[in-house]
């Protein structure tokens, strides 16, 4: 039951009981995966706490301005709260606040919380301080953790590179235990991940392309340090994004608080992607930049999902990626006209359910040497997925009811199997049984109802 795309002249049949096919161009260019243990990736970059202002790479005046901006925005603040907001050691912040107090830019309004030294003092900005901070606001209105100098960011990306892995099959398997995949998939994605080169997924929707990508990110292992923001030519670029970067909970020795230790990022962009989303976003109101998707994805994965369904043409979008894919460097435009060279340390994956022949040309595909077709499952694989989804939801699997589902709702309608359907149908079984006040179970009546709900929009 295959309606897969015949991509680059490949029309060979798939191996039995697999929903993944490997393009011959891939298998002929990659060596077999050798089954042997490999050491897990460890943290190679650990930003130590700065002991002096010079260690931060920031000028004393910049840190003073940032302290005043926080007071300007939030009002009176306790010293310990200023430390928390700046993400700098308290000893450094205390020295800065002492200078601001001597310069009459701030005043002390009392103490609170029993804190020792200036950490317990409550600071307020003075009129003289307001005049000073208004001038700094004309340059930028960034108020947040102290930024990291750009050169330190470049060092961090290089030290935490997504490339240079030595993954073997047994390193991948634990991350895919909840997916039913043919063994061939690991021989495709493993070499691609070790090479760090781009991967092109294609095939009908609902058969696991996105799920595979999500688990690939976990396979890279280790954690990475992401700065809240970086400073370039006195301009701030915000990088940390709480919707993308997920902090780890591991215990580590204290490190520079301007960095967040995170799981390797996975950034997913879909049909909403526009070319301007791939450049620095400058706001004339706040006068600082937001990093683009690919910069936030550094040291991780970037999945361009639903490729070909963006408002921008596939050709224009592909042309945008040619230089970064080849040189591993990207060039971003600043509003001043300057071109900023940014590392492109990203494992890029394109995913589409459209015919690749209509989207890409051979020149681009040479830059994406790994191609993988994710096909619809056959009956045996569909059943395995169904059993696995039943086990996840503690629903007793009933062979007779499963046969009824296939013979009544799939075969007569010539309805193809999709890997997502067992999950979707059984989620409805759980919801319906909960409504009925009974334990989740399979019977023909329940199956009829959930199938009618699920497929009615396609009838």
* Domains of the chain, CATH where assigned: 7-39+154-248+261-374 (3.40.50.300), 59-146 (1.10.10.10), 379-458 (1.10.8)
Confidence grade of residue 251 (pLDDT, cut at 50, 70, 90): low
Once rounded to an integer, what is the mean pLDDT over residues 102-128?
83
Q: pLDDT digits over 321-332, tens only?
A: 888 988 899 999
Concatenate the DSSP letters of all residues of 154-211 into one string. Answer: HHHHHHT-S-S----HHHHGGGGTTS---THHHHHHHHHHHHT--EEEES-SSSSHHH
Q: pLDDT digits over 30-67, tens only?
A: 333 333 333 444 446 889 999 999 999 999 999 999 99
* Distance, CA of 99 to CA of 92 (rounded, Å): 11
Residue among 303, 308, 243, 301 at smallest CA distance from 271: 308
Once rounded to an integer, what is the mean pLDDT over residues 85-90?
96
Please answer whether residues 199 and 192 qualify as being in contact, where contact means their C-beta atoms are separated by less than 8 angstroms.
Answer: yes
Q: pLDDT digits over 117-150, tens only?
A: 667 889 999 999 999 999 889 889 999 999 999 9
Please answer whether residues 33 and 187 qualify as being in contact, where contact means their C-beta atoms are separated by less than 8 angstroms.
Answer: yes
* Distance, CA of 147 to CA of 444 (rounded, Å): 61
114 Ramachandran zone, left/alpha/beta (phi>0; psi -120 to 50): left
**Sign of the CA dihedral running 74, 79, 80, 86:** positive
Identify which of 1-10, 112-121, 270-279, 284-293 has the greatest average pLDDT: 284-293
| pTM of this structure | 0.80
Confidence grade of residue 114 (pLDDT, cut at 50, 70, 90): low
Confidence grade of residue 1 (pLDDT, cut at 50, 70, 90): very low
| Helix-, strand-, coil-residue percentages of the chain, each rounded to 5 | 40, 15, 40
Does the structure show a pLDDT above 60 at 14? no
Does the structure show a pLDDT above 70 at 407? yes
Once rounded to an integer, what is the mean pLDDT over residues 393-397?
96
Q: pLDDT digits over 326-362, tens only?
A: 889 999 999 999 999 999 999 999 888 887 777 777 7
Strand-pairing partners, residue 346, are: 300
pLDDT score recorded for residue 457: 53
What element of type H or E holds 291?
Answer: none
Once rounded to an integer, what is the mean pLDDT over residues 140-161?
95
Average per-residue pLDDT for the chain: 85
Q: Is 416 exposed, middle or buried (0-12, 13-18, 19+ CB in 10 A)?
A: middle
Please answer whether residues 428 and 453 qualify as being in contact, where contact means their C-beta atoms are separated by less than 8 angstroms.
Answer: yes
């Amino acid at each position: 039951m295959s309606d897969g795309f015949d991509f680059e002249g490949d029309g060979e049949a798939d191996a039995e009981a697999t929903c993944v096919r490997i393009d011959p161009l891939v298998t002929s260019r990659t060596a077999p995966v050798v089954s042997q243990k490999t050491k897990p990736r460890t943290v190679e970059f650990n930003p130590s706490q700065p002991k002096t202002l010079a260690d931060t790479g920031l000028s004393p005046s910049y840190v003073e301005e940032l302290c005043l901006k926080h007071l300007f925005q939030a009002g009176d603040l306790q010293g310990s709260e200023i430390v928390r907001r700046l993400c700098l050691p308290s000893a450094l912040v205390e020295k800065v606040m002492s200078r601001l107090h001597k310069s009459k830019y701030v005043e002390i309004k009392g103490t609170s919380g029993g804190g020792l030294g200036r950490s317990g003092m409550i600071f307020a900005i003075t009129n003289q301080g307001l005049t000073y901070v208004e001038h700094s606001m004309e340059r930028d209105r960034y108020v947040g953790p102290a930024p990291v100098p750009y050169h330190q960011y470049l060092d961090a990306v290089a030290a935490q590179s997504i490339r240079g892995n030595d993954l073997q099959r047994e390193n991948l398997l634990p991350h895919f235990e909840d997916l039913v995949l043919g063994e061939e998939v690991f021989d495709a994605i493993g070499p691609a991940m070790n090479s760090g080169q781009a991967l092109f997924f294609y095939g009908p929707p609902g058969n696991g392309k996105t799920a595979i990508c999500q688990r690939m990110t976990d396979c890279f292992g280790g954690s990475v340090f992401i700065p809240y923001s970086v400073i370039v030519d006195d301009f701030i670029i915000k990088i940390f994004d709480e919707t993308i970067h997920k902090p780890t909970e591991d215990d580590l020795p204290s490190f520079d608080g301007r960095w967040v230790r995170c799981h390797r990022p996975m950034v997913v962009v879909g049909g909403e992607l526009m070319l301007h989303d791939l450049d620095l976003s400058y706001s004339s109101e706040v006068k600082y930049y937001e990093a683009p998707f690919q910069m936030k994805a550094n040291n991780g994965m970037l999945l361009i999902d639903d490729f070909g369904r963006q408002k921008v043409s596939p050709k224009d979008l592909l042309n945008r990626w040619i230089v970064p894919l080849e040189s591993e460097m990207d060039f971003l435009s600043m509003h001043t006209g300057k071109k900023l060279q940014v590392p492109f340390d990203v494992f890029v994956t394109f995913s589409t359910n459209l015919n690749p022949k209509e989207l890409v040309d051979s020149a681009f595909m040479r830059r994406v040497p790994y191609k993988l077709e994710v096909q619809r499952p056959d009956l045996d694989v569909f059943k395995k997925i169904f059993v696995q989804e039943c086990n996840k939801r503690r629903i007793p699997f009933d062979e007779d009811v499963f046969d009824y589902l296939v013979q009544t709702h799939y075969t007569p309608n010539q309805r193809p199997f999709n890997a997502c359907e067992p999950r979707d149908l059984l989620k409805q079984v759980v919801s319906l049984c909960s409504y009925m006040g009974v334990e989740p179970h399979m019977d023909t009546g329940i199956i009829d109802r959930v199938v009618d709900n699920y497929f009615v929009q396609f009838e």
